[in-house]
Amino acid sequence: MSSTAEPEPGGAGIDVTEIAAEEAIDLMEGEEMDIDEAGLRLFVQQGGCAGLSYGMRFEYEPEPDDEVFDHHGLRVFIDQSSLNYIEGSVLDFEGGLQGEGFHVRNPNVESECGCGESFRT
């Protein structure tokens, strides 16, 4: 199950589908995290077969210089350098034959690797 929401190229920030927010909130509550303060950190790091890859983890609070977005009750923390790569993206949760997981649909990428975890801008 996934949303058909599409990012606006050059749009401000990121978007999160309702299903992705629900899945993340469920996981955070399972870890007994306070969803009013904690959030999902989305970041870009060097690595992967195409040069850059996405990373995600839960954190109890944002860093002072983070941009904080709220979508469907989920707080998303993104540092400025990562935001430069993923601005206008949509975070979705997809399930299917390849398994379930979070997926970033990024209008800024030139190419992605076969697994969809690595990209080049």
Helical (H) or strand (E) element with 53 = strand 52-59
Q: What is the pLDDT of residue 48?
A: 63
Residue 5 counted as domain residue: no
Q: What is the mean pLDDT of each run of 10 residues along the chain (121 residues)?
A: 42 87 96 96 81 90 95 96 92 79 84 53 51
What is the 3-class SS of 59-103, one letter each residue?
Answer: ECCCCCCCEEEEECCEEEEECHHHHHHHCCCEEEEECCCCCCEEE
What confidence score (pLDDT) does residue 22 get?
A: 97
**Residue 20: which domain range?**
15-120
Q: What is the CATH number of the domain that holds 53?
A: 2.60.300.12
In a domain, 50, yes or no: yes
Which of 55, 78, 59 lies closest to 67 in space, CA to CA?
A: 78
Identify whether 83 is part of a domain.
Answer: yes
Partners of 58 in the β-ladder:
40
Question: How many domains are contained in the chain?
Answer: 1
What is the pLDDT, as a whole number, of residue 94?
87
Identify whether 6 is part of a domain.
Answer: no
Give the pLDDT score at 103. Answer: 87
Please choose, from the candidates 90, 78, 74, 97, the residue with its C-alpha nearest in 3D space to the C-alpha of residue 28: 74
**pLDDT at residue 50, as a whole number:** 61
CA distance 77 to 75: 7
Q: Would residue 79 count as lying in a domain? A: yes
